[in-house]
Amino acid sequence: MNFNLALMIAAFTAIFITINPISKVPFFIILTTGYSREDKKVVIVNAIKVSTAVLLLFAVFGKFLFDAFNVEFLALKFVGAAVLIKIGYDMLMGQITRFKGTDEERQEAIDKGIVGVVPLGIPMIAGPGAMITAMVYMGEASGVLEWGFILLSILITLVITYVLLVESQYIYEKMGKLGITATMRIMGILIASIGVQMMLDNIVQFSTLL
């Protein structure tokens, strides 16, 4: 049974960086200001449950959805590469993805106690970048072993996200805003590089079809 180690390392790296657990720390602290420790735990658990379900579903069934609309896998790979480059650029510039709903939507989420689902679970953790990345690498993988590794990569990253959110206040106090921003920018360089390499590979693959 073949196991493409280089592809799996790239898959884990891309999944981890697009989910980007460390960038959720300051956002979570702001989002749950005034919450008790127990309430914060509920928010975290809800966020992880929802993001896990969404990412696994997209990883396993996403390609079938695109096939139903006659979207070629190569086209999806081009989109995935572009998304990775954009995410990497935003991280390099120190921009943290924020919930872009209206003020009313934000307040409704807070009032109903569903901030763990929206915006933290979706789209902060299980965002478009993470969904497309999981789908692309599942399509690139071949065999049960590689598919299982990619699904495991998603689960490991979400476990790390859970731990970081639980200890978010401690982490923020130790690293500070500067430390978190520096970490984000380093990861931004990595994810942008992965995106560029994916784009170049896609161009080479496309040229063979001409």
Contact between 62 and 151 under an 8 Å Cβ cutoff? The reply is no
Enumerate long-range contacts of 53-56, CB under 8 Å, 24 or more apart: 54/121, 54/122, 54/126, 54/131, 55/126, 55/130, 55/131, 55/134, 55/154, 55/158, 56/151, 56/154
Is position 37 within any domain? yes
In this predicted structure, the answer to whether residue 46 has a pLDDT above a threshold of 80 is yes
Is 15 within the bounds of a domain?
A: yes
Q: Is residue 113 part of a domain?
A: yes
Please check whether residue 192 lies inside any domain of the structure. yes
Number of structural domains, the chain?
1
Structural domain harbouring 157: 5-205
**Does any domain span residue 210?**
no
Residue 89 within a domain: yes
Looking at per-residue confidence, does 58 or 209 come out higher? Answer: 58
Separation between Cα atoms, residue 2 and residue 113, nearest integer Å: 46
- CA count, 13 A, side-chain hemisphere, 106: 9
Across 47-58, b (16+ Cβ under 10 Å) vs e yields bbebbbebbbeb
Please tell me whether the overall predicted TM-score, pTM, comes out greater than 0.75 for this model. Answer: yes
pLDDT band at 8 (very low <50, low <70, confident <90, very high): very high
Give a yes or no: residue 9 inside a domain. Answer: yes
Residue 24 pLDDT > 60, yes or no? yes
